[in-house]
């Protein structure tokens, strides 16, 4: 049983090293997805703010969420990363800001 546990632990560590770039990018994906999808829901599809909050809700919580309706800009922070999406026009929709 102890050998099986050690083998599983070694395999997990090997997998983490192999996937380190993808695992490092994961926290950024959470806030970027939430900002972009909320922006599209709210300003492209013209849905209610409460509906869009429910639409983008994930099982990993975000720590900060700002909807600036005058500039049509969404800022979301989660897992130590922050991303912003902004509505550009009817034709272009929303875009993540670098």
**Phi and psi angles of residue 93, each rounded to the nearest 5 degrees, phi first:** 75, -140
* Domains of the chain, residue spans: 26-97
* Whether the predicted pLDDT of 88 surpasses 90: yes
* Whether the predicted pLDDT of 79 surpasses 90: no
* Amino acid 51: pLDDT: 96
* Amino acid 95: pLDDT: 95
d(CA 53, CA 42): 9
Q: Which two tokens stand for residue 91?
A: 């034709």
At CA 16, angle to CA 22 and CA 23, rounded to 5? Answer: 25
Q: What pTM was computed for the model?
A: 0.79
**Phi and psi angles of residue 50, each rounded to the nearest 5 degrees, phi first:** -65, -40
Predicted confidence (pLDDT) per residue in 39-64, tens digit: 999 999 999 999 999 999 888 888 89
């Amino acid at each position: 049983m102890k050998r099986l546990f050690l083998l599983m632990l070694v395999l997990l560590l090997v997998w983490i090293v192999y996937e380190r770039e993808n695992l490092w990018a994961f926290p950024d994906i959470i806030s970027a997805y939430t900002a972009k999808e909320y922006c599209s829901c709210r300003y492209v599809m013209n849905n209610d703010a409460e509906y869009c909050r429910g639409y983008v809700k994930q099982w990993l919580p975000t720590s900060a969420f700002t909807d600036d309706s005058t500039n049509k800009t969404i800022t979301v922070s989660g897992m130590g990363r922050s991303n912003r999406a902004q509505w550009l026009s009817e034709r272009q929709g929303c875009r993540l800001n670098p």
